[in-house]
Chain A
Amino acid sequence: MTKFYHSRLSILTLALLVCLCSPALANHTANLPEKIQAGHINQTGTLIEIGVNGLVCDFCARTLEKIFMKRSDIAGIDVSLDESRILISLQDGKDIEDSALRKLVTDAGYNVSSIKRTAGHS
């Protein structure tokens, strides 16, 4: 009898954990932050996630934000120190080559570790 209750309790706990984690997993999959720090997310434009080495403080984050937001083809940017990445939302029909992205990050004083693109994520 006790074993039966323990099994049910385990299954319920597992189900509860799955329910609690689902929104987080879904959000991670969509790759969108809850709020963006500068500009806005363009739902129909390309989203680019850039991994950045050396991104350790608010001055670094602010530098990248200002450098990228100078460009008219960028709708918004989100910087995450926790994930060492920046997320860039492009205006409709716009694209920026990887080499140009690397140059922007290098000119800001940092290095690129990875670049991932997601086209039109609405």
Chain B
Amino acid sequence: MTTKPMTIGIISLCIVLAAAQPAQARPISYPGGWTFMTMNDGEQNMLHLNYTFTPSFSLGYNAEYWRDEKFQVHSLQANNLLKRWNNPGSQANVYLQSGLGAAYSDKVPHDSDWRPAAYVGIAADWENRRFYTAYENRYLWADDIHDSFMQKARIGVAPYIGDYGDLHTWIILQVSHTPEAEEEITFTPTLRLFKGDHLAEAGISSSGDVTFNWTIRF
């Protein structure tokens, strides 16, 4: 009799963990490649699956669930690499990320309502093999369900430098600014593990929320 609730719990946990904030890892792969990303933090759970058409463009499905406000957004998301700087030993990128879809809410005053939704944001990063820094923002509009702006900045350092195929470790500090949230500014020390096609991150924010991100390319 306890199997069913346990199964539901495991499935729920998987759903919660299956979420994505695309800018945390490069949202464009190689032509013909797929990328799946998840991100979960104190505010939301997101997932993103995209297909890369050209070295500077990928298109995919994005789903997100905002826990406090109890609404979902389902959208088609376009990722455009606006500019890349390839230098000896370092790389920098600027991306435009935009999405169009629908938002769903059953929180009062909404009654299983669907509304149009759209968002746009810029993501930028620079890294060499020792240091990493990134910034991203996003404006999300979902009619009378939600309307917000958020931004994040990150800085990271690799305690050792590994070659291709080794396990790469990064220690990252993330600062998030979410005006809509109870705690407007949060700090999240994060540990990133990176090997081959997999990138995983885990951290605990200054408000006590657990962050978990995972990216896989195939």
Contact = CB atoms under 8 A, between A and B. Distances in A.
B33 interface: yes
Contact of A66 (B30, B55, B199): B30
B164 interface: yes
B197 interface: yes
A120 interface: no
A82 B164 CA distance: 8
Interface residues of B, number: 33
Contacts of B25: 59
Interface string B42-55: 00000000000001
Interface residues of A, number: 26
Most buried by A among B91, B161, B164: B164
Interface in B82-124: 84-91
A101 interface: no
Interface string B188-215: 0000001111010000000000000000
Contacts of B177: none
Nearest to A105: B86
Contacts of A108: 30, 55
Interface of A: prevailing SS:
mixed
A19 B127 CA distance: 38
A63 interface: yes
Given A58-B196, A110-B86, A37 B164 contact: yes
B89 to A, nearest CB: 6
19 contacts: A52-B86, A53-B86, A54-B91, A56-B129, A57-B127, A58-B165, A58-B168, A58-B194, A58-B196, A59-B29, A61-B164, A62-B197, A67-B31, A81-B163, A108-B30, A109-B28, A109-B55, A109-B86, A110-B86
Interface of A: 37, 52-54, 56-63, 66-67, 79-82, 84, 106-111, 113
Interface of B: 25-26, 28-31, 33, 55-56, 81, 84-91, 127-129, 161-165, 168, 194-197, 199, 217
